[in-house]
Every structure is written in structure tokens, then in C-alpha cells.
């Protein structure tokens, strides 16, 4: 049987689909990538060298749907708004978390917990756009998700893994935020199921055959460029070049979790989110700049959007996230990676103080949560506060631009830096805000 041809889909303008090519060309090259070149130890060593050269990394743990502050990190003991969920003591004197987070409670000394996030957006798509880009949603400009901004700032043509990897799937794709005006060059590489590269990636042909096919593609590209398609060809060529390096990389084994000790995989939790956090550690260990891991709970399409059946669904969501989050912090620390890796836990907003009879809560954008650890952040503290019933912020409100400015400082990115849209409009990385000084004290 002849070797299958790489499945690369071209649109009407002659531009290759990024995801289609990544999958197709990886299928052609993966079989030799894992067996040629560096051994595991040398690959990991080089990855660590790249990490030091490229600066600090960030892992975003995204609680898709908006987690309730009452059932997570800001319980209100004694308030009618707390409902039946209890609270437990943490390793920080006087600081309590919901009873569903016993493992996180033991590592809270590594975390700076912000309990006073505020924004004006209470609708999912608008709130997601704001929290993921730092900018209010706009019909005129597609602001890029922050992972794409970091990928642009950390760009290194010598590095053979994607700068921005996303693990898991958003529960509602139409609300998702993409690389926007930064284009396909800085889009995420998506892994739907941790431990596996995209489903159609299979060993197929040798590197020599792959390179011959790419050479043929280049000839077609040259003809299209001469006929007026030069800009589209340039973008496609860039994707092809980077993808060729990726599928032939000795670091490709970073995506394979099978060699990790079984007890460690158990500690993270044998869930998509738990194994996604383990994969995130493996990727930053090898020099990836930004990894996003999406938590949806895996039971239904609601995720953390617990309007209904909160008494039933919230414990399940927390019980998946708690071991994954806490083990990630411990694992990074044990490997000496936490000081160079910022881990951010958050969603797009919180939930209303008022409980529905079934434990559901509506959207609420006052006093929601963000938790930061690593990257030089001063852990073991709580920043901001809400009143006894969790209705109003009473101390140290923190806005989304405040948070973005702080993250830029942690990562060593100039927030006043600019990127330029296709129509030559300059956009600052962060507009407005003030650093959360407590994070650095």
C-alpha cells in the first residue's frame, strides 16, 4: 500500500489551515521524531536551557464558566449566602477555603489569593473577552488572547515546540477568544486530550519523504505568489517551517505522559484536567512559554457555570480541580520550576451571593477570584476582601488591567509594548491599570 499523502486543506485564497497542517504534517513526521536524535534526558536538559534563555513561563488554569467564590476560595462562614458547603482551615492561620479543597489548603503558602477582583462584565462572551485579552470586547478589533501575546513576546525561531499550547476544549467554542489581530502565527496549538497529540497524528513517512512533499508544496506556493498571493504564501510558509521543526523535534515526547510514574499521575487525578496539568508541567519544563489548561468538569456542558444543580455539580468540579492544582504547585516546586513559572487559577467572573434552592448561583462580577503562584510572586497571602455576606468588595479592589499589568511584570514583558493590526493600528499590550504591589512584597 502506498504511503498516504499529508492531508493539508487549502482555502479559496490558497492559505493552508493551521490546525489541518499541524495534524497532517505531524502525522507524516511523528514516526521518526520520537526515535531519532536526542534521548529523553538530553531533551529535557536542553528544554531547561531553553526555559532559562526564554524567560519565565505561565500556566493558566481556566475554570470555564465562572467558579463560585463561596464554594472555592472565599467561603462566608455564618452567612446565609454560604449555603450548606463547609469551610476548612488552611496552612495559613485564619484563612479558610471551601471544604472541597483540602489539598489546596495545604499548599496555600505558595499562593497569593486575590478575593477582590471586580469587572463590569456579567455575560460570558463579554467577560471571557475581557479577562482573556485585558480589553473590553470590541466589534472593531479582535484583541488577542494573552497566550498569543506571550507567544509573540517570547518568539524564538530556534525553538521547535509551540510557544502557546492549550489543553482541553472550551465548553462553548463560540465564546472562545483566539489570537485575533496577531494572526495564525501566534495561535495556540490545541491538545484536546492530554497525553495524545491530535487524533489524526500517526507515524506515516520518513523525514526524507516529508521534506520532498514540502519541497513540492513550495513550488506550488511560488507559482501562487507570482500570481498575487505573496502575503498569504508568506504566512503559510511560516506555519509550514515551524511545523516541520515541531514534528521532527526530539522534544515531541513531552506530549506523551506514559513514562510518568503512576503514583504521580494518580496525584494529579486521572481526569482530563488533572492530566492536563501534568502535561503543562512537562511542557514548561521543556521551554514552552504559555500553557492553558481548561477545566470543565467533564460531566455536562455547564462546566463551572453552575446556574442549576450547584449542590450536585460544584463538589464534582472542585474534587477534580483540587488535586490537580495542588499537585502541580508541588511538582513544579520539587523540580525547581516554580520560581520561573507563574501559575494563575481563575475564570471569567464569580457567582451571585444569593443561592437558588438547588444550590445554583447566577453570574456575579464583584469580588471574584484570581490565585497566583510561582514566578516570584509573594505567596502565603490573601489580597482584598469582601463583606460578611460576600456582596461587596470592602478592601483592595483589583481590576482586570491591574492583574494584567502585574502578570506582565512577573513575566518580564513590557506592558507598554505594542503590536500592530493589519490596518497599521498600534495596540498596547495593557491599557490602564496599576500593578498589584502586594504580589511583589
Model confidence pLDDT, tens digit, residues 359-398: 999 999 999 999 999 999 999 999 999 999 999 999 999 9
Q: Which residue has the higher pLDDT, 204 or 328?
A: 328
- What percent of the chain is predicted at pLDDT more than 90? 68
- Please provide the average confidence, as pLDDT, over all residues in the chain: 86
Burial readout 407-437 (b: 16 or more C-beta within 10 A, e: otherwise) = bbbbbebebeeebebeeeeebebbeebebbe
Pairing assessment for the beta strands 189-191 and 350-351 based on DSSP bridges: unpaired
Q: What length is written for the chain?
A: 441
Section 301-324 average pLDDT: 94
Nearest to 154 by CA among 410, 412, 403, 337: 412
With cut-offs at 50, 70 and 90, classify the pLDDT of residue 199. low
Model confidence pLDDT, tens digit, residues 106-134: 999 999 999 999 999 999 999 999 999 99
**CB distance 375 to 111 below 8 Å:** no
**2 CB burial (10 A radius; 0-12, 13-18, 19+):** exposed
Model confidence pLDDT, tens digit, residues 48-80: 454 445 589 999 999 999 999 999 999 999 999
Report the alpha-carbon distance of residue 205 to residue 5 in Å, rounded. 9
pLDDT at 411: 97
With cut-offs at 50, 70 and 90, classify the pLDDT of residue 420. confident
With cut-offs at 50, 70 and 90, classify the pLDDT of residue 237. confident
How many angstroms separate the Cα of 13 from the Cα of each of 17, 169, 226, 237? 11, 28, 14, 14
Section 248-265 average pLDDT: 91
As its CATH architecture, domain 56-195+256-440 has 3-Layer(aba) Sandwich (3.40)
**CB distance 276 to 167 below 8 Å:** yes
pLDDT at 28: 35
For CATH 3.40.720.10, list the domain ranges present in the chain. Answer: 56-195+256-440
Q: Which residue has the higher pLDDT, 422 or 330?
A: 330
pLDDT at 14: 34
| Confidence check: pLDDT of 308 > 60 | yes
User: Nearest 10 degrees: CA dihedral of 124, 172, 178, 270?
Assistant: 110
Section 341-355 average pLDDT: 98
CA contacts within 13 A on the Cβ side of 372: 27
Amino acid at each position: 500500500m502506498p504511503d498516504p499523502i499529508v492531508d493539508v486543506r487549502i482555502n479559496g485564497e490558497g492559505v493552508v489551515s493551521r490546525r489541518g497542517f499541524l495534524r497532517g504534517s505531524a502525522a507524516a513526521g511523528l514516526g521518526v521524531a520520537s526515535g531519532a536524535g536526542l534521548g529523553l534526558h538530553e531533551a529535557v536538559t536542553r528544554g531547561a536551557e531553553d526555559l532559562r534563555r526564554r524567560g519565565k513561563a505561565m500556566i493558566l488554569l481556566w475554570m470555564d464558566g465562572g467558579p463560585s467564590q463561596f464554594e472555592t476560595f472565599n467561603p462566608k462562614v455564618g452567612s446565609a449566602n454560604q449555603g450548606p458547603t463547609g469551610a476548612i482551615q488552611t496552612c495559613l492561620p485564619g484563612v479558610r477555603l471551601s471544604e472541597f479543597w483540602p489539598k489546596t489548603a495545604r499548599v496555600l503558602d505558595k499562593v497569593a489569593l486575590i478575593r477582590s477582583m471586580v469587572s463590569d462584565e456579567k455575560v460570558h462572551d463579554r467577560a471571557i473577552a475581557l479577562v482573556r485579552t485585558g480589553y473590553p470586547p470590541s466589534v472593531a478589533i479582535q484583541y488577542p488572547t494573552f497566550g498569543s501575546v506571550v507567544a509573540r513576546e517570547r518568539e524564538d525561531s530556534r525553538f521547535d515546540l509551540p510557544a502557546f499550547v492549550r489543553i482541553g476544549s472550551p465548553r462553548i467554542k463560540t465564546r472562545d477568544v483566539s489570537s485575533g489581530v496577531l494572526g495564525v502565527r501566534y495561535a495556540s496549538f490545541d491538545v484536546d486530550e492530554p497525553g495524545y497529540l491530535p487524533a489524526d497524528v500517526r507515524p506515516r513517512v520518513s523525514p526524507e519523504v516529508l521534506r520532498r512533499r514540502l519541497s513540492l508544496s513550495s513550488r506550488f506556493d511560488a507559482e501562487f505568489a507570482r500570481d498575487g498571493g505573496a502575503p498569504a504564501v508568506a504566512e503559510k510558509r511560516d506555519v509550514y517551517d515551524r511545523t516541520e521543526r515541531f514534528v521532527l523535534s526530539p522534544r515531541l515526547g513531552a506530549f506523551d505522559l506514559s513514562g510518568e510514574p503512576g503514583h504521580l499521575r494518580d496525584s494529579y487525578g486521572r481526569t482530563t484536567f488533572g492530566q492536563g496539568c501534568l502535561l503543562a508541567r512537562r511542557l514548561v519544563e521543556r521551554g514552552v512559554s504559555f500553557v492553558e489548561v481548561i477545566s470543565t468538569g467533564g460531566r455536562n456542558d455547564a462546566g463551572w457555570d453552575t446556574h442549576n444543580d450547584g449542590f450536585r455539580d460544584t463538589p464534582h468540579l472542585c474534587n477534580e480541580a483540587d488535586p490537580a492544582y495542588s499537585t502541580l504547585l508541588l511538582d513544579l516546586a520539587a523540580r525547581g520550576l516554580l520560581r520561573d513559572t507563574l501559575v494563575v487559577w481563575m475564570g471569567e467572573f464569580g457567582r451571585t451571593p444569593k443561592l437558588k434552592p438547588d444550590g445554583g448561583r447566577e453570574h456575579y462580577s464583584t469580588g471574584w477570584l484570581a490565585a497566583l503562584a510561582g514566578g516570584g510572586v509573594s505567596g502565603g497571602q490573601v489580597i482584598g476582601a469582601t463583606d460578611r455576606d460576600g456582596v461587596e468588595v470592602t478592601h483592595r479592589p483589583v481590576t482586570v488591567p491591574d492583574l494584567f499589568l502585574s502578570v506582565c511584570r512577573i513575566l518580564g514583558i513590557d506592558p507598554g509594548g505594542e503590536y500592530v493590526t493589519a490596518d497599521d493600528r498600534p495596540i498596547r499590550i495593557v491599557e490602564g491599570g496599576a500593578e498589584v504591589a502586594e504580589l511583589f512584597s
